[in-house]
Chains A and B, each alone.
Chain A
Amino acid sequence: MTPEELAQIAEETREKRGGEGRELNVCTAAGCLSLRSDALKAALEDEVKKSGAQCRVRGVGCMGLCSQGPLVAEEPAGVMYSKATPAEAAEIVANSGGTVARKLVCSKEQPFFRRQSFLVLENSGKIDPEKIDEYIAVGGYDALVTALTEKQPNEIIQEVSKSGLRGRGGAGYPTGLKWGTVAKTMGGSKYVICNADEGDPGAFMDRSVLESDPHRVLEGMIIAGYAVGASRGYIYVRAEYPLAVKRLGIAIREARKLGLLGSQICNTKFNFDLEVRIGGGAFVCGEETALIASIEGRRGAPRPRPPYPAQSGLWDMPTLINNVETYACIPLVLRKGGEWFANIGTKKSKGTKVFALTGKVRNVGLIEVPMGVTLRQIIFEIGGGVPEGRKFKAVQTGGPSGGCIPEQFLDLPVDYESLKEVGSIMGSGGMIVMDDSACMVNVARYFMEFCMSESCGKCIPCRSGTAQMYELLSRVTGGTATMRDLELLEELCDMVANTSLCGLGQSAPNPILSTLRYFREEYVEHIEEKRCKAGVCECSAMQEVRA
């Protein structure tokens, strides 16, 4: 593959598409698929054939507004149809340019789309994820070919450092620094790993990226391989994401066919190949050392760090491990330059972040915003606020390792530091909005149950600490706790956070600590009045019986 060949493929694909004019793009990512977008796509194809309309039906990736699915976008008219059904296929095909006179049309001008800025998701919903040609046509693999033929590995690392990109898995470690460490470490063979074990419940960003634009992640990984001097890579995906696994498999095969993976890529001395590894449904495997153990075919138990994987990782070799979204940023950083990327976002957090906005909010879906926008903008402008006239109560970020952020911090700019300050974390990007029908003690108990059963059992603070905390919380929700139990709970939180081996245990108390900090009165109410304001917990049910 040479730059000229790549340009030729891009040109040919664009020509082929341009000639046909009108296009109907159907979302075939998991959200819309579960609403039967496959049947819709088939109906549209049938209808086009039957009516002989000059129109092409394509399957594309996620368009973001998942709660309005299945989504169909018409190009070049730029119209979007929401909640389309197979019965409406004829109507959609017959009326070009969005003349369908019904509520079906969904404005692209609404704040949900206008407020976002698409970097990582730039191709999501625009290209067919199962065709490499379409990715190349929008400039894909250009960064890789340019890097391999014109740049030295250390130049690439410098560019990544300049961009200020930080790990998108949640912890926010500077990516350039990590790459530099792996590149500097001597070792026989190095490895590149992509962490796609998106374990946080309520998060589906990585899934969407992999299902909508898998080549982007591959390109980022191959560039990373070149930069750090690795020749082999693994993508560790959850078993719960069969569609992502399938599309990654197709993407890898297509990339191999074009010589973008394999030996002597772009006629250089660089060899690199990738393999998909499927997880087994263990939350702890999102922790890097546990993930490495799992790839080696062992139980996913973490080990103490240092040594960090960058020094001694997979099979004791220097290993670079990054999140899906981090790799997905790389092609863009190289194409547009590190400085361009660093211009977006806040002082310490650069670029954009993809969030999965879910829970009690009108526009549920996948969004991408520059770092530094406020929670209020995300929830009320993009998300459209809390539905059914209820009141916003809290937003949960960071999954079981994060915390609940109450209303008074809604104007907080979203970046790694400020979220940490209020007792939550950026996390991988799940954002769950809760209204006044949620009981915060119950939410804390839910997360503790999660951590308790997901604890791998290797270290004691986490194994029995989470179980004890769960017991205490159950007493609170059951109405049998005393104020002494609350003290004990706080002590335990402190102990587990400070003595656990890995991130799971260290962050497990976060949901309790943050709810205790902002919603302490709810705990007290449960204990002293045996009352649950939201009416979720058992103690209030018992009171009703008594009354």
Chain B
Amino acid sequence: MRRHGFARDALIETLHTVQESFGCLDKESLKFVAESLRVPLSHAYGVATFYHFFTMKPPGAHTCLICMGTACYIKGAANLMKEAEAQLGVKAGETTPDGQASLITARCIGSCSVAPAVVLDGEMVGNIDGAMLKKKMEGWRAS
């Protein structure tokens, strides 16, 4: 916050930093940010829930992000999603009850040249199919 000079318009930047450091935005951090930047808490909450990039739920130890952009969709992202859902036993946007893995989607990660693409634990994997994805995620739940 200091970096942005406590400017009120830097709310989104600040929330990015918080999420980067803590993995998600919780009530306490939102309250703290709102007070420090002198914006109403409702405003901070509104912004945090408006943008897809921010999450209020803590992510799992592993994350599987499936790109649902048009190019990926045409090349079978829906099947990847089915595979991942079956593998992890959760739906898109959820985390397994043991907190081991989260399954999320993206609108487009701009890697259409290697569609379909997924991002596993921050590492992008392109030209992937269901079997490959299954193999990559093996051991996520057991560990």
Residues of A near any B CB (own CB < 8 A)? 30-31, 33-35, 66-67, 69, 198-204, 207, 238-241, 277-283, 294-300, 356, 358-360, 364-366, 396, 399, 430, 432, 434, 438, 443, 446-447, 450, 454, 456
B107 contacts A450, C-beta separation under 8 Å: yes
Extra A-B contacts (14), CB below 8 Å, given A31-B111, A364-B112: A30-B110, A31-B114, A34-B114, A67-B114, A200-B108, A201-B71, A202-B69, A280-B53, A281-B52, A356-B112, A358-B70, A359-B75, A443-B74, A450-B107
In the assembled complex, how far is the CB of residue A207 from the closest CB belonging to chain B, in whole angstroms?
5
Contacts of B41 in A (CB 8 A): none
Residue of B at shortest CB range from A294?
Answer: B12
18 contacts between A and B (CB under 8 A): A33-B124, A34-B125, A198-B110, A200-B108, A201-B70, A201-B107, A204-B113, A240-B108, A278-B13, A280-B12, A280-B16, A281-B51, A282-B52, A295-B9, A297-B11, A365-B113, A432-B112, A450-B107
In the complex, chain B residues 104-143 whose Cβ is within 8 Å of any chain A Cβ: 106-115, 117, 124-126
B113 contacts A199, C-beta separation under 8 Å: no
B: number of interface residues (CB 8 Å): 39
Residues of B near any A CB (own CB < 8 A)? 8-13, 15-16, 39, 43, 46-47, 50-54, 68-75, 106-115, 117, 124-126
Contacts of A199 in B (CB 8 A): 107-108
Please report the C-alpha to C-alpha distance between residue A446 and residue B70 in the assembled complex, in whole angstroms.
8
In the assembled complex, how far is the CB of residue B8 from the closest CB belonging to chain A, in whole angstroms?
6
B110 contacts A240, C-beta separation under 8 Å: yes
A280 contacts B107, C-beta separation under 8 Å: no
Please report the C-alpha to C-alpha distance between residue A282 and residue B70 in the assembled complex, in whole angstroms.
16
Contacts A201-B71, A201-B107, A399-B70; A299 near B50 (Cβ below 8 A) = yes
In the assembled complex, how far is the CB of residue A431 from the closest CB belonging to chain B, in whole angstroms?
10
A240 contacts B9, C-beta separation under 8 Å: no
Contacts of B52 in A (CB 8 A): 280-282
Contacts of B51 in A (CB 8 A): 279-282, 300
In the assembled complex, how far is the CB of residue A64 from the closest CB belonging to chain B, in whole angstroms?
10
Contacts A34-B126, A200-B108, A204-B110; A358 near B115 (Cβ below 8 A) = yes
In the assembled complex, how far is the CB of residue A317 from the closest CB belonging to chain B, in whole angstroms?
13
Please report the C-alpha to C-alpha distance between residue A369 and residue B22 in the assembled complex, in whole angstroms.
45
Please report the C-alpha to C-alpha distance between residue A359 and residue B74 in the assembled complex, in whole angstroms.
6
Contacts of B16 in A (CB 8 A): 239, 278, 280
Contacts A35-B126, A207-B110, A356-B112; A297 near B47 (Cβ below 8 A) = yes
Residue of B at shortest CB range from A205?
Answer: B110
Residue of B at shortest CB range from A399?
Answer: B70
Residue of A at shortest CB range from B113?
Answer: A66
The interface centre, meaning the residue of B39, B111, B112 with most chain A CB atoms within 10 A of its CB, is: B112
Contacts A299-B46, A299-B47; A396 near B112 (Cβ below 8 A) = no
The interface centre, meaning the residue of A239, A241, A434 with most chain B CB atoms within 10 A of its CB, is: A239
Contacts of B47 in A (CB 8 A): 280, 297-299
